[in-house]
Amino acid sequence: MAGNFENRWGTPELQHLKGKSVGDLLAQLPGGFVKTYGSGSLATASIQGMSASQTQVTWMGVPVNSPSLGMTDLALFPTELIGNATVLTGSAAQASGSGALGGVIALGSPQYFHYPSEWVTNGSLSAGSFGRYDGSLHVKKGFNRWYSETRAVYKQAENNYPYRDLSVFGTPERVLEHAAFRQMGVAQDWGFKPSSRQEWNAHIWLLDAQRQIPPIMGSATTEEQQHDQNLRAALSLTQSWMRLTLTHTATYLQDLNHYQNPTYGIDGLNRFRSMVAQSQFSTDRHTSQKWIFSGYARYRLDQSQTDGWEGLRKRQTGTAYARALWLASERWNMSVAMQQEMVDGKAMPTLPLWGMKYSGKPKEGAHLVTYRWVYANLGRNFRMPTLNDLYWVPGGNSQLKPEKSWKAQLGAGLTLSGTPYETTPVISLRGELFASHVRDWILWQPSGLGYWQAQNVQEVFARGGLVEFFFWNRNVQPVEGSYGNKFWWELRANYSHTRSEAIPAGQGILGGEGKQLIYVPRHTAQARLHMQWHRWQAHINPSYTGIRYITSDESQSLEGFFLLDASVSVGVSKSQSAIRLSLQGENLLNAEYQAVAFRPMAGRSALLRLDWNLNFNKSIK
Amino acid sequence: MNNMNDRLRTWTLLALLAVGMVFTACNKDDEDPKTEPETFTKGVLVLNEGSFGSGNATVDFIWSDSLNRRANIFQDKNGRPLGDVGQSIAFLDGKGYVVVNNSNKIEVVNPSDFASLGTITGLTSPRYAIKAGTNKAFVTDLFGGAISVVNLSTLAVENTIQTGGWSEAIASFGNNVYVSIADSNYIAVIDAATETVTSNIVVSKGPNSMAFDSFGKLWVLCDGGWQAEIPQLHRVNVSSGLVEASFAFPSLNDYPNSLQMNADGNVMFFLNNDIYRMSIGETAIPTTVFHSAGTRYLYGLGLDPATGVVYAGDAKDFTQNGTVLRISPLNGNLLDTLQAGVAPSKFYFR
């Protein structure tokens, strides 16, 4: 999509993030902030000043946010089960459907033009501090017309780390209790190409997660716990004729969330399932054509059953989306898109989108290529109230209006690189400004009826900027098993500033006008240094998260914190096998911090990991 | 759908909201100039409930004469926060017992300086405490399904009295203790000496607060169980165990709460969005507002026994500091608006 910048993690990048979740990916995103209760615990993301429920997560192109809660627990997406992840923060996020006011995290599987013919298996085993054990397996095999790719993961941790109890005089050291978790999952992809013009794909995702929920500091430990199960399945058929590609997809989503607090006698079972049918088209670029068209039509049925209401609640959504990309010249391209949704037979606001990109012609010096680009986008979006917002008894408000937003981004970048086959460093800089305005922001507020009620109570104006810096000293990173003898390194750094302010409007108990939204840091910065020499690799990852207000009048806050993670690893290869042994350290400076108030986070920790890679048809030097 | 399920659902929702939206607390509140003495003996203690799940309950003190305020006196004195959801304070035998609901505890303090004297643990979800004999207190409980009997010397829970539901308001008269069962429709009568429920007085749904008048009659305010039935105010003859009079509110949408009796025991105040004033001799629920809430969310009420001044807490949206309104008992006019912590809900006059 022209005019939008993509942050993308492919399978190689995700290999370095084993043991993490999509929440950890988002934490690397400039302008993103992940609010986590600790390892394996609930993690939600705020992108460019918006709320967690305004961050959309898609799996195989279909939004998977809970229709009841609106948000997605990113801890339930282990990186080991994901083929690739793309984050879009610009207005193009609306292509996934409405709701992504902050951005969209698109999770998918690799697309193969030719199926990989070799057997590839890789896996990992790790053990670390606080009772942490992980294991993963990835097996991929393709034949002429079909392929199969299996990913599996198992994780567990006691999370019994020491912390200073701020609720007790003298802040004595204690050990966190009742914070263990166990997670296991499988993701399976199949592909079948009966002809060069036809492809079938099937995807299945199964995840089971059990989590204990520790009390906040100062509260007695209860038996609070949560059990989540996710089943996702998708079947698609892609057909090509001339320059036209059609893809028909059927998707089934089923989530179960079982919350229990026996101490309080609470036993809440929430289930939701969605059925989605989608037909998508796209045209290829042709040398004589300057236009590329794409779009889709989607029907979605959401069903939800919770303790908040009797029976089953349903929502039917029809979506039509069309986009035209105009390749005006080698330097300019522009896209326009339009989306229209019908929800339970009622037409929602039409969502227009515009984007453009200017790519300067690369200028070549003796050993240097200078490349500049500028991009901009503008779009409208909305987010439907969740089923909880509408129907929870008591407090659900069937009169709620959708949240409506406008968002704009303007970015520019500059890359200096060596000419082809040169080994001069590559430097890249990117800057981006963004602004978004949301009307009819939905909050639960005291109603005067003795309970809280969902209301459209305020407007939010978020704006800010980010800068990113990349530096790498060689164009090509040595691949595993083919160890170069030169020192290779890469540095990435970013800083973002976000102002996200409430503007009271309409009815409701209002406050915090002109104040920063709670749990949205104004300042975040981080850097990643990746080094490789012979068989050795090292990563250093410092990050800073600024002060976060935790009351809407900015009267109370959590201090900013600085974290330093690092790892060192050594690889050994023989015949067709490669093994890598890694030692990872997190929070090496042992910073005491809270991502959520009175929820202690882990101090210094270590993890020892063994990765192996077997490729039966490829010789490894 | 019963009322208990409603409460559980709301509790679950609060937990979801705390997880999803998150309100919170940590750093110190704004401080007024410390020009006042360090003892809190002539003024009003304001209990700020805080945001659910955020551990930011606080206690403020406002001096009667100057109306100066000292914020967060518990943490200032003891070097640690009070806890999560400050529910109530009881003053028993010269000590203060601060009930911290979602921290499952009661902090025992010296009421003159709020220095910690101990902590009562082993409680499930404590709400209100009352003295019920020598060295003995009864503590009501939201989820425990029972009253806890606490030994005030050892600070240990020595017994529990099954009440069969959410025990909320508590008051004593003679040898009996009266406990409202907020998710049902009755008042449990407990013999303080034998620690047994001797009878139940049937009222209407959702008894949330109560007070004795100067004639020893127990007034019980019932909210109707969140629109399950019409809210009512009952006058109970505790001698006979019967409801003598009932006063119905006009609408299912009414949510009366925070019943307070004045020092003379002849005039009541309560919240129903706005503040209402009702003499014990009146024959119907007043239709005239004593003080309008306007756009504020009034969450708690208190009466200064010395002056009759009405104190009301504006909790706003529970995610920011609230305010305390001082209101004339004569005409309902606003006298002052004072700063408070998050969700000011209870007032205790010293």
- pLDDT number for residue A288: 59
Which positions in chain B touch A222 (Cβ < 8 Å)?
A: 104
Which residues of B fall within a CB distance of 8 Å from A391? Answer: none
Regarding pTM above 0.95, the answer is no
In single-letter form, the type of residue at position B51 comes to S
Is the CB of B299 less than 8 angstroms away from the CB of A443?
A: no
Instruction: Answer whether A598 sits within 8 Å of B124, measured CB to CB.
Output: no
B chain contacts of residue A553, beta-carbon cutoff 8 Å: 320-321
When CB atoms are compared, the residue of A443, A446, A556 closest to B25 is: A556
CA distance A565 to chain B (A): 26
What 3-state class would DSSP assign to A30? Answer: coil
| pLDDT score for A619 | 40
Q: Give the per-residue pLDDT at A246.
A: 96
Distance of alpha carbon A207 from alpha carbon A188, whole angstroms? 12
Report pLDDT for A424: 66
Residue B10 to chain A, least CA–CA distance (Å): 7
Q: Calculate what percentage of chain A has a pLDDT beyond 70.
A: 93
pLDDT at A450: 78
A83 SS3 class? coil
> Alpha helix (H) ranges present in A351-444?
387-391
Position A487 scores a pLDDT of 79
Compute the count of residue pairs across chains A and B with CB atoms less than 8 Å apart: 195
Contacts of B56 in chain A (CB under 8 A): 556, 597
- When scoring B80, B116, B168, B314 by the number of chain A Cβ atoms within 10 A, the one with the most, hence best to mutate, is B80
* Chain A residues touching residue B166 (CB < 8 angstroms): none
Chain B residue with Cα closest to A455: B317
Q: How far is CA A508 from CA A160, A295, A455, in A?
A: 42, 39, 7
Q: In terms of Cα–Cα distance, which of A493, A563, A570 is closest to A538?
A: A570
| pLDDT of amino acid B23 | 32
Burial-class residue B229 by CB neighbours within 10 Å (0-12, 13-18, 19+). middle
Do the chains contact at A558 and B26, CB–CB below 8 Å? yes
User: In a 10 Å sphere around its CB, with 0-12 CB exposed, 13-18 middle and 19+ buried, how is residue A607 labelled?
Assistant: buried
In one-letter notation, the amino acid at residue A532 is Q
List, for chain B, all residue ranges whose pLDDT scores fall below the cut of 50: 1-4, 8, 14, 16-31
Output the pLDDT for position B30: 42
Answer yes or no: do B84 and A219 touch at CB < 8 A. Answer: yes
**Cβ <8 Å between A69 and B16:** yes
- What pLDDT sits at residue B191? 97
Report residues of chain A scoring pLDDT below 50.
475, 508-509, 618-621
Q: Which chain A residues touch B10 with a CB distance below 8 Å?
A: 394-395, 451-452
Which residue in this structure is represented by tokens 């303007």? A410
DSSP string, B1-35: --HHHHHHHHHHHHHHHHHHT-----SPPP-----
**Is B24 within 8 Å of A307 when comparing Cβ atoms?**
no
Tokens of A133: 């054990």
Chain A residues with beta carbon closer than 8 angstroms to that of B76: none
Q: What is the pLDDT of residue B261?
A: 97
In what side-by-side order are the strands of the sheet with B105-109? B86-92, B95-100, B105-109, B116-120
